[in-house]
Amino acid sequence: MDFASDNTAGASQRILDAILAANAGPAAAYGADSFSAKATELLSEVFEKEIACFLVATGTASNALALGAICPPFGAVFCHQESHIMEDECGAPEMFTAGAKLVGIPGHAGKIGGEDLAATIAAFPRGAVKQVQPAALSLSQATESGTLYSCEEISDLAAIAHGAGLEVHMDGARFANALVALPCKPADMSWRAGVDVLSFGATKNGALACEAVIFFDPAKASSLPYQRKRSGHTLSKGRFLGAQMVAYLEDGHWLGLAKTANAHAVRLAQGLAEAPGVRIVWPRQANEIFAILPRRTDTALKAAGALYYEWSSRRFDAGIAAPAQDEVFVRLVTSFATLSSDVERFVAIAQGRA
Amino acid sequence: MDFASDNTAGASQRILDAILAANAGPAAAYGADSFSAKATELLSEVFEKEIACFLVATGTASNALALGAICPPFGAVFCHQESHIMEDECGAPEMFTAGAKLVGIPGHAGKIGGEDLAATIAAFPRGAVKQVQPAALSLSQATESGTLYSCEEISDLAAIAHGAGLEVHMDGARFANALVALPCKPADMSWRAGVDVLSFGATKNGALACEAVIFFDPAKASSLPYQRKRSGHTLSKGRFLGAQMVAYLEDGHWLGLAKTANAHAVRLAQGLAEAPGVRIVWPRQANEIFAILPRRTDTALKAAGALYYEWSSRRFDAGIAAPAQDEVFVRLVTSFATLSSDVERFVAIAQGRA
Amino acid sequence: MDFASDNTAGASQRILDAILAANAGPAAAYGADSFSAKATELLSEVFEKEIACFLVATGTASNALALGAICPPFGAVFCHQESHIMEDECGAPEMFTAGAKLVGIPGHAGKIGGEDLAATIAAFPRGAVKQVQPAALSLSQATESGTLYSCEEISDLAAIAHGAGLEVHMDGARFANALVALPCKPADMSWRAGVDVLSFGATKNGALACEAVIFFDPAKASSLPYQRKRSGHTLSKGRFLGAQMVAYLEDGHWLGLAKTANAHAVRLAQGLAEAPGVRIVWPRQANEIFAILPRRTDTALKAAGALYYEWSSRRFDAGIAAPAQDEVFVRLVTSFATLSSDVERFVAIAQGRA
Amino acid sequence: MDFASDNTAGASQRILDAILAANAGPAAAYGADSFSAKATELLSEVFEKEIACFLVATGTASNALALGAICPPFGAVFCHQESHIMEDECGAPEMFTAGAKLVGIPGHAGKIGGEDLAATIAAFPRGAVKQVQPAALSLSQATESGTLYSCEEISDLAAIAHGAGLEVHMDGARFANALVALPCKPADMSWRAGVDVLSFGATKNGALACEAVIFFDPAKASSLPYQRKRSGHTLSKGRFLGAQMVAYLEDGHWLGLAKTANAHAVRLAQGLAEAPGVRIVWPRQANEIFAILPRRTDTALKAAGALYYEWSSRRFDAGIAAPAQDEVFVRLVTSFATLSSDVERFVAIAQGRA
């Protein structure tokens, strides 16, 4: 019963098979191989647009390289105050931008509102030399609270950002989980909605270690080959990144994996909602569930071997009643590798049936 | 006939099998898994010392993180002027040290001499505020010229460095190839000779993407967990790094792979030495051969599909006659995956027998 | 009627005279002159402690160098969310720390409260690799809201910081203005209260361009000579910094200047408090007054040529009623060079008497 | 007899007077004052071109800010291997470029030759991702060896640089000393010869602390206001920088100061050339003399109180016979403040006449 994260899962068999298949014979190093070329081709198809694409092994690298390309050292990146780039990357964006400032914006359920965004940007007037200069908006889809922006919401926020001269980045570590939950296509949820640079995740959704930094305007990617290299993120045996991404995309494998993960989350959320004393904190929209459990439920689940993180109470937003003394605030994540039996057993315990 | 690099090879079957085996079930993320712990344990055994170990996916990351830990922004790293950190990492050491200076030292066959080292360090007096301050010596073993330092030579250079208050780093991207060519143990070629931090490579010798930053004094590694994270080099599914390193080390697999690679190089060098008009530039000591070929030989080899790099004439050192107009300076690299038949065919062509 | 800032004033005559006097004959460059040595000696006397002292020309340099010495690239600096280092230095602390994160803490009247500090530090657990690590607390004295910490308050906050393993920095751009308003000695307001590194300002209080970075434990200053040099802050004709600081300190000149500035502020605040419709926002404690003026008063003052800044409404804190439509939120600053006649005229206009 | 440096001199009386005059009354802070505006105006006149100009207090700041504006973190700055930016700024260019690499080029008498420049640039092929990318050429005028480039030489080097896509920076810490020694105008020695960004020094030639970063294409200066601020180089009482520069330029004051300094050097070089056993190392062209003295002469001079630096033997170039055991290699610098009587006394001692 491991609901700690979608990165405690391994890789999908199909992706592992692709790695094995890619192993045969020599291949050009540093991304000049045919697998990497094929990955770019497939991503261009998926996004219905010619793109520039840079494969790396981690989401932090993907986000930080993307932000480094669109934010100068004296720039500001606007993001949700609980976002991954703000809270969970130990200052990677600061390192890759050579010292830019991340400006956190509060917002219910992990989402930034348009008015808050506009007001925050306005607090950093263009040309006011004492202050860092507005450079980028970074949105997470799905958010750190497991919620989703609709394509319209992304469009609206991107329009505000573009109107103020900012570039728009999307942290898509869970892009697939978001996509399959919304009635839109990859292009709709990204460049058609105004996203300029996308960190397109695969690792949390079944890859071994593979993420793509995608520039929808290839002309803006000119520094990336060098920045990827000097940050140590250009893998010598690049074929193995390419092979993962190809297998991930071919035949809609990525969509199937995400649908599986989300379906487990639907069932888990439903089961918890019916469990006595359990409160679902934010709406379950992708593959993460944030819930407040009675402490006795938490104790029973852990005694049964369930794994999940207690979530920081600091991460609460104003719209939610904080956990009481005898309650625990937790995050549960499902993945393609989650077992239905684990979900059912977890629910049964939470409902006091096991 | 691919002799372009040891990173155009894939991974060894044993290492791929280990990745597959590690895939089963959930595992703690970010390096807290049992495979990573086992890797540290095995490395401690191999080096006969308690170490601190950080697995990453690239050699550039390994070198840059190591240097960042031992050189301040106002420091100088002394290295051979043709070393990988100087010439081939697009400024990674500068990025990870926040702007330190690499000071290149010339030297025959890719090796630094003790007098040159001492004189160069002396040109940066301790406390002379206008100049960057001596902080680290970085040695490559094997060197970029495919040559080796004896353990005594390492000891002598390290003693000079330590005497001047420097830490000693070793770029061991081809540590295994060097080790099996010398009559010494891993500890002799590293910490017993004075190496403080080692970039221990596995990728070029059969791993998919795995390198270890090894601190022989774990107390000096306190910043590494954070620097690895903020540089995006902490893989979420860390088990796959751990599994590679474990398979690499167990049962002497790494030594076998290196011996195979080196044996191919021995045969290739021998065959070339007997080829008309071919000059071996630096002594073949590990798995790289630097040779000057008659242009007609080069043409014949390429026509037959052989792959290898022309080496920069700038990289010549004073002891070697530069290639003539009708000659080409090339680098040939063998690996565990090199085919004997390719070696023989290459030699036959070079010798004008095919 | 220039109340825009205390840096729109020139330098005191005594300090200019000292510059002239220092000009005679040659002097050793880069701070090795006798004036700089004398400055260190006088500062040691003033603070009753042997110190390490580094003179620079700007407050931003002073703050950023100080923070760079006590916060690693993966560290967090805790400060008031409206502090100068957070809002007004265009990312200098981020540059000089090579990418650390400033964590803003809200607090009434520009001051951080102990509970808020403790809670914020606790949100960055030691050893939690995903997050930047608590490294420093930075307090401003006087604050950006013109208020003061008592020595006890500084002590309490420093104790919390030290208890969590942090170093304590004080931004003392207006150290003198604070000091003469409190019943304590320089040592009491700094190291005896737990301050480790002090940015000791002179420019706003009558120097031409002179600030001192003061380490109360000289052993912690070992990197400063190099960091000052490589950031371009080691003046070649260092005698002119030394001469300013010496003249500033000798015969209590600095205290006299600050008393004059504060006395003007007392009178100005008193006059405004009695003006119809004017609200003093935060208590006037040093040489800055934050007030809400009726728009008609603002209009009348500006028509008469008064200079001052409208203050950002964003900088309001929860305890204060925001300005209404027909009101303006302004900052007024007095200095040693303020003319009493200007104060009186300003007050007269505000009170509708002129 | 202080010939240690031109920064051991004080400031010219005229410049000090200007500082005093600028002190009266309030002035807008951070460079928005009328003196700074006037300085830009005068510099535009001097250089016969509309420029963007940023005043700072040190030459290191000026150079580093200039290079940071034209070289990305993954870029290379080509410069003479003995240049000030390479040897004497403790890594400032690396800090302000966020980690770029300085590539030193050897060359007789402190000057870079065209062939060496072209060959060195060619060793960093555009698009070769492993290597830092050619970004800037930095020339020193006068050089660190006290020699001068003719305007034609500057033109030729700049043409090579521009042809390879580089920007051209000039370190003009001694721009005035060079200018008055050559038959050309400021524009000829800078932008007409291809210089894009100039560090225009005044400190060594009579200012208290004042240098200008000058962009001959103002459009390229867009990041400078922010980079100057975040590096702590925007002086709050900016009028004092402006006033220095205005006084420096008005009525040709700067040219007079430089002529005086150079004339002292002419006399000193002449006297030394006639002294027994003294060798002039590089031709005296501006206000610096590099000479090899018999040790007995050195001893006699020092006994008489003469101050000057022994120059690093490492700084020798191939064209010069190194000092013998009983010889000393020294640098002598004259300034506007040098006393003729000191020159004569120095010469007399060197010639054994005193």
> Closest by alpha carbon to B140, among B62, B49, B43?
B62
Interchain pair B99, D101: CB under 8 A: no
Once rounded to an integer, what is the mean pLDDT over residues C244-261? 98
Q: What are A73's two structure tokens?
A: 């050292």
* CA–CA min distance D169, chain C (Å): 17
- What tens digit of pLDDT does each residue of C263-282 get? 999 999 999 999 999 999 99
Mean pLDDT for all residues in chain D: 96
pLDDT at D318 over 90: no
For residue B44, the model assigns a pLDDT of 98
- Written as six digits, the tokens of B70 are 């031992």
Range scoring the smallest mean pLDDT among A198-207, A226-235, A316-325, C272-281: A316-325
First to last CA, chain B: 14
- Residue C116's pLDDT is 97
pLDDT at C29: 94
Chain B positions in Cβ-Cβ contact with residue D89 (cut-off 8 Å): 130
| pLDDT (mean) for A181-191 | 98
The total of other beta-carbon atoms located within 10 Å of residue C184's CB is 17
Q: What is the DSSP letter of A205?
A: G
User: Residue B202 burial (CB < 10 Å; 0-12/13-18/19+)?
Assistant: buried
pLDDT tens, position by position, D217-242: 999 999 999 999 999 999 999 999 99
Average pLDDT over residues A163-182: 98
DSSP state of C284: -
Higher pLDDT, D316 or A54: A54
Question: In this structure, what token pair is assigned to residue D74?
Answer: 């993954």
Q: Which of D88, D98, D101 shows the shortest C-beta gap to B130?
A: D88
Cβ of A87 within 8 Å of Cβ of C312? The answer is no
Whether the pLDDT of residue A329 is over 70: the answer is: yes
Q: Torsion over CA of A18, A23, A24 and A28, rounded to 10 degrees?
A: 110
Question: Cβ contacts of residue D118 below 8 Å, gap of 6+?
Answer: D160, D164
CA-based nearest residue to C67, from C46, C84, C51, C42:
C84
Calculate how close chain C gets to B123, using CA atoms only, in Å. Answer: 17
As to burial, measured by CB atoms within 10 angstroms (0-12 exposed, 13-18 middle, 19+ buried), residue A142 is buried
In degrees rounded to 5, what are phi and psi of residue D318? -60, -25
pLDDT digits (tens, 9 = 90+) for D129-169: 999 999 999 999 999 999 999 999 999 999 999 999 999 99
Q: Left, alpha or beta for C302 (phi > 0: left; psi -120 to 50: alpha)?
A: alpha
Q: Is the per-residue pLDDT at B317 higher than 90?
A: no
Residue-wise pLDDT for B60-116, tens only, equals 999 999 999 999 999 999 999 999 999 999 999 999 999 999 999 999 999 999 999
Nearest alpha-carbon partner for D113 in D154, D162, D57: D154
Closest chain A residue to D226 measured between Cα atoms?
A129
Residue C290 main-chain phi, psi, to 5 deg: -110, 120
Q: Tell me the average pLDDT across B217-230.
A: 97
By CB atoms closer than 10 A (0-12, 13-18, 19+), residue C8 is buried
For residue D187, what are its two tokens? Answer: 């524009």
pLDDT tens, position by position, D186-201: 999 999 999 999 999 9
**Pairwise CB contact (< 8 Å): D131 & B312:** no
Interacting residues of A286 by C-beta distance below 8 A, sequence separation 6+: A142, A146, A147, A148, A174, A177, A178, A181, A262, A265
What value does the mean pLDDT take over residues D313-341?
86
* Rounded distance between C-alpha atoms, residue D58 and residue C235, angstroms: 6
Q: Is the pLDDT of residue A321 over 80?
A: no
Q: What is the pLDDT of residues C44-101, one digit of tens each?
A: 999 999 999 999 999 999 999 999 999 999 999 999 999 999 999 999 999 999 999 9
**Residue A296's pLDDT band (boundaries 50, 70, 90)?**
very high
**Chain segment A67-101, per-residue pLDDT in tens:** 999 999 999 999 999 999 999 999 999 999 999 99
Q: Residue B223 — φ and ψ, nearest 5°?
A: -85, -15
* pLDDT (0 to 100) of residue B279: 94
Q: Is the dihedral of CA C51, C53, C59, C60 positive or negative?
A: negative
Lowest mean pLDDT among A246-250, A313-317, B247-251: A313-317
Q: Judging by DSSP bridges, how do beta strands B133-140 and C327-333 pair with one another?
A: unpaired
DSSP three-state, residue C38: helix
Report CB contact under 8 Å: A131, C90. yes
Q: Which helix (H) or strand (E) holds B214?
A: strand B211-215
A227 to chain D, closest Cα gap in Å = 7
Q: What ipTM describes this predicted complex? A: 0.96
Q: Is the pLDDT score of C241 beyond 80?
A: yes
Judge contact between A76 and A67, C-beta under 8 A: no
Instruction: Give backbone dihedrals phi and psi of C134, rounded to 5 degrees, phi first.
Output: -55, 125
Looking at chain B, which subunits does it touch, using at least 3 CB pairs closer than 8 Å as the criterion?
Answer: A, C, D
Which pTM value belongs to this model?
A: 0.97
Q: Which of A86, A237, A244 to mutate to test the interface with B (most CBs of B within 10 A)?
A: A237
- What is the pLDDT at residue C229? 98
User: Cβ contacts of residue A324 below 8 Å, gap of 6+?
Assistant: none
Q: What distance in Å separates residue A67's CA from the closest CA in chain C?
A: 14
Residue A354 confidence (pLDDT): 83
Running DSSP on this structure, what letter comes out for residue D199? E
Query: Quick check: C130 and B229 CB within 8 A?
Result: yes
Would you call the peptide bond into D142 cis, given omega within 30 degrees of 0 as the criterion? yes
In contact, D170 and D157? CB cutoff 8 Å = no
Q: What pLDDT was estimated at residue B315?
A: 64
DSSP string, A240-300: HHHHHHHHHHGGGHHHHHHHHHHHHHHHHHHHHHTSTT-EE-S---SSEEEEEEEHHHHHH
Nearest to A23 among B11, B56, B231 (CB): B11
Which of C99, C133, C229 is nearest residue B130 as measured by Cβ atoms?
Answer: C229
Rounded Cα gap, residues A286 and A111, in angstroms:
14
The Cα–Cα gap between D158 and D137 comes to 8
pLDDT band with cut points at 50, 70 and 90 for residue A316? low
| Residues in contact with D283: Cβ distance below 8 Å, sequence separation at least 6, in sequence order | D109, D147
Q: Look up residue D153 and give its two tokens.
A: 């030489």
Strand (E) or helix (H) holding D309: strand D309-310
Residues in chain A with CB shorter than 8 Å from the CB of B89 are 229-230, 232
Question: How far is residue B47's CA from residue C134's CA, in Å, rounded to a whole number?
Answer: 34
Q: How far apart are CA B208 and CA B301, in angstroms?
A: 29
Q: Check whether A222 has a pLDDT greater than 80.
A: yes
Among A169, A194, A190, A192, which residue's Cα sits nearest to residue A179? A190
| Strand ordering across the sheet containing C101-105 | C52-56, C211-215, C197-201, C167-172, C133-140, C75-80, C101-105
Q: Which residue's entry shows tokens 């930075």?
A: C138
Cα separation, A280 vs B116, whole angstroms = 68
Q: Is the pLDDT of residue B316 over 90?
A: no
* Alpha carbons A62 and A171: distance in angstroms, whole number: 9
Mean pLDDT value across residues C191-210: 98
Which whole-number Å values give the CA distances from D62 to B267, C30, D92, in the listed order?
57, 16, 10
Report the alpha-carbon distance of residue A308 to residue C315 in Å, rounded. 39
Rounded to whole angstroms, the Cα distance separating C223 from B294 reads: 54
Contact flag D90-B312 (C-beta cutoff 8 Å): no
Asked whether the bond before D69 is cis by omega within 30 degrees of 0, the reply is no
CB C157, CB C114: distance < 8 Å: yes
Question: What does the DSSP 8-state code read for residue C106?
Answer: -
For residue B79, give Cα distances in angstroms to A158, A200, B64, B136, B148: 47, 38, 13, 9, 15
Q: What would the pLDDT profile of D46-80 be if each residue is shown by its tens digit? A: 999 999 999 999 999 999 999 999 999 999 999 99
Share of chain A above pLDDT 70, in %: 98
Residues of chain A with C-beta less than 8 angstroms from the C-beta of C98? 95, 99
How close, in Å, is residue C311 to chain B by CA atoms? 36
pLDDT at A314 over 70: no
Q: Which of A223, A224, A187 is nearest to A56 (CA)?
A: A224
**D313 pLDDT more than 80:** no
Ordered domains of chain D (ranges, CATH): 13-253 (3.40.640.10), 254-350 (3.90.1150.10)
Closest-CA residue to C195 (of C205, C187, C184): C187
Residue A309 has what pLDDT? 95
State how far Cα A19 lies from the chain centre.
24
Contact B58 A226 (CB under 8 A): no
